Amino acid sequence: MKSIITFTALILPLSLSAQLPSFPTNIYWNQLDAKTETNNLFKIRIEYYEVKDDSTSFRSISPVHEYIFSHGKIDSIHFINTQTDSIFRTFILDDFQRVKEERIYLKSAWEPIVNYQYNDIENTSSKETFLQDSSLHMRVKIKYDSQNQPLKMEEYKKDSILTRYWLYEYDSCQNLTKKLMVNTPNGPGITAFGNSFEPWPNDTTTYQNTYKQGCKQLKKLEFHNSSLQESTEYFFSGDTAITKTFEYSYGGEISVVKTIKEASSIKITSTEYLNYSPSLFQYTYFNNIPISYTHTSSGELVKELNYTTNYIKDSRGNWVERNFYENGVLTKKAKRIIWYNQ
């Protein structure tokens, strides 16, 4: 018999809600797969498969996802083990689609149990992580400004001892200009060669933003403890937008160049590694669906793939099967079972 441990968050009346951003979590479901052309939904079950040598099997890294709906919004999400068809993780969402409760169905599970709370009056949120014996392991609190951007984030040990905290500053365009991590003697650190414990030093990241025509950003520089780590440039022409990011090594040399080019429904992303064996990886998307991939190394083509995706839809226009092809060969598929409200 599996034990079920639950923790319920404080949710204030909707009339008081400032719609705080959802707390950062390790949730990795794809909510786009739950999108439909109709709102009259009760449940959607999505199964992910891989196809190899005419054999179809569940994708090992993708559990079955079940979305339960209420009044046109996601009420809960279940992760289901593909071998046992049993639920091993559940997320409960509030009316603003924020995670308010996370349940782990334990069977010698290592995963933590997490409780999320949003105080819309004080403009704060918190995340509590519990161990299998229900004891508190860690608590993180965030205080937001009037624009719902973090001002301060505090991290506490299980006994509510402050370990470290982060402070955030923004410019008049609401873009981040400074992030300061302040450690304490109770925070993370290192003990080397039998010496006494040494907490990690404080850490500062600053950003320099350049604008044109008000808050239209043209450039952003990121410095880590005064050392340039990353620079990003923004270019605009008609309906075309290009973002180019340069990552720097400790020696101050450019090591990685990332480019995103968007024009109408087309998006091209590329990552170029300049050190050692120079390599370029590029994806092309149409309406956010990948259609091609190339990998070159030292100017020579290593791999090239062309992707196609087709859908089978039900009588209401919602897809129930999605097939994904690489160079004309079926490699992945997803199946959706949709339950509609009467």
Length of the chain: 342
Cα 167–chain centre separation: 22
pLDDT in tens, 260-288: 999 999 999 999 999 878 999 999 999 98
Whether residue 3 has pLDDT greater than 50: no
Tell me if 153 sits within 8 A of 142, measured CB to CB: yes
Spatial neighbors of 287 by CB under 8 A, at least 6 apart, are 265
In whole angstroms, give the CA distance from residue 153 to residue 142: 4
Whether residue 6 has pLDDT greater than 90: no
Whether residue 55 has pLDDT greater than 50: yes
Whether residue 28 has pLDDT greater than 60: no
Query: In the predicted model, what is the mean pLDDT of residues 56-70?
Result: 90
Q: Supply the mean pLDDT for the chain.
A: 87
Tell me if 293 sits within 8 A of 304, measured CB to CB: yes
**Amino acid sitting at position 60:** S
- The percent of residues in the chain predicted with pLDDT above 70, rounded, is 89
pLDDT band for 5, please (50, 70, 90 cuts): very low
In whole angstroms, give the CA distance from residue 216 to residue 93: 34
Residue 198 pLDDT: 87
Query: In the predicted model, what is the mean pLDDT of residues 44-60?
Result: 91
More confident residue, 139 or 133: 139
More confident residue, 230 or 192: 230
Whether residue 228 has pLDDT greater than 50: yes
DSSP label at 174? Answer: S
Whether residue 9 has pLDDT greater than 70: no
pLDDT in tens, 166-190: 999 999 999 999 999 999 999 999 8
Task: Extract the runs of DSSP E, i.e. beta strands, from 26-95.
Answer: 41-52, 55-58, 64-70, 73-80, 87-93
pLDDT in tens, 238-252: 999 999 999 999 888
Spatial neighbors of 137 by CB under 8 A, at least 6 apart, are 112, 129, 130, 131, 158
Dihedral, CA atoms, 31, 33, 36, 39, nearest 10 degrees? -40
pTM of the model: 0.81
Whether residue 339 has pLDDT greater than 70: yes
Question: Other CB atoms closer than 10 Å to residue 186's CB: what's the count?
Answer: 15
pLDDT in tens, 209-221: 999 988 999 999 9
In whole angstroms, give the CA distance from residue 71 to residue 54: 41
In whole angstroms, give the CA distance from residue 280 to residue 327: 20
The two structure tokens encoding residue 289: 């669906």
Cα–Cα distances in Å, from 120 out to 92, 108, 116, 151?
Answer: 18, 36, 13, 15
Residue 330 pLDDT: 96
Tell me if 243 sits within 8 A of 267, measured CB to CB: no
Residue 37 pLDDT: 81
Q: Given CA atoms 14, 18, 21, 25 in this order, what sign does their dihedral have?
A: negative
Question: Other CB atoms closer than 10 Å to residue 243's CB: what's the count?
Answer: 16
In whole angstroms, give the CA distance from residue 176 to residue 276: 33
Whether residue 301 has pLDDT greater than 60: yes
Spatial neighbors of 342 by CB under 8 A, at least 6 apart, are none
The distance in angstroms from the start CA to the end CA of the chain is 35
Whether residue 161 has pLDDT greater than 70: yes
